[in-house]
Amino acid sequence: MANILEELQSRASAALKRLQEAQAQFQAAQQKLAVAQQEHTAWATALNFEARRQQQERQQQEQKDLTPPSQPVVPPETATPQLAAPDINKTDLIKQALARHSGATPAELYKDVQQHVTKAYLYAVLSRLNRNKSVKVKARKYYLQSVAKVEEVKPEQNPIVQ
């Protein structure tokens, strides 16, 4: 019996030794796998980035090939307007345009005053007139408010009694 017990102990210790060696090999293989996965991910990311960059360069080159070289065009709204007379009151000019075109949109007003003011200035004046309640805005159209003229009341000439 003692013989059988010793035999079983020796086989169990040998199996434990093989198990520990297999676990060590498995952990080493897992570490190698993790390193290989990280390396693959890094190279795949670099490949995708470079492919995208080259594709963008090709598209830009194709775009250059399709567009003929031309002189840069300055849009009219960024061009500096030519002032006809330096003493023009621009706000009054815009009010006059509103009086001529009651219910006009800013684009319609700009067509009328573009020789004298920029589009940004037109919007600034319209905004100020709206705040001052000089114009009324309805459905994105501007209407000049009618200003009732108040006649000046002259003080009565009271004779001075002495």
Q: Is 142 exposed, middle or buried (0-12, 13-18, 19+ CB in 10 A)?
A: buried
Q: What residue segments make up the domains of the chain, in order of their start?
A: 1-65, 90-144
CA 46 to chain centroid, in Å, comes to 30
Please give the model's pTM, rounded to 2 decimal places: 0.40
For 84, phi and psi rounded to 5 degrees?
A: -75, -45
Q: What is the pLDDT of residue 157?
A: 56
Please tell us whether the domain made up of 90-144 is placed in CATH 3.40.50. no
Q: How far is CA 76 from CA 81, 82, 114, 117, 127, in A?
A: 9, 12, 9, 12, 22
Q: What is the pLDDT of residue 16?
A: 97
Q: What is the pLDDT of residue 92?
A: 87
Which residue type does 53 have? R
Q: What tens-digit pLDDT sequence spans the chain (162 residues)?
A: 779 999 999 999 999 999 999 999 999 999 999 999 999 999 999 999 999 999 999 999 888 887 765 665 555 555 455 544 567 888 888 888 888 887 889 888 899 888 889 999 999 998 998 898 888 888 889 888 875 544 444 555 555 655
Contact residues for 129 (Cβ-Cβ < 8 A; gap 6+): 91, 94, 95, 135, 142
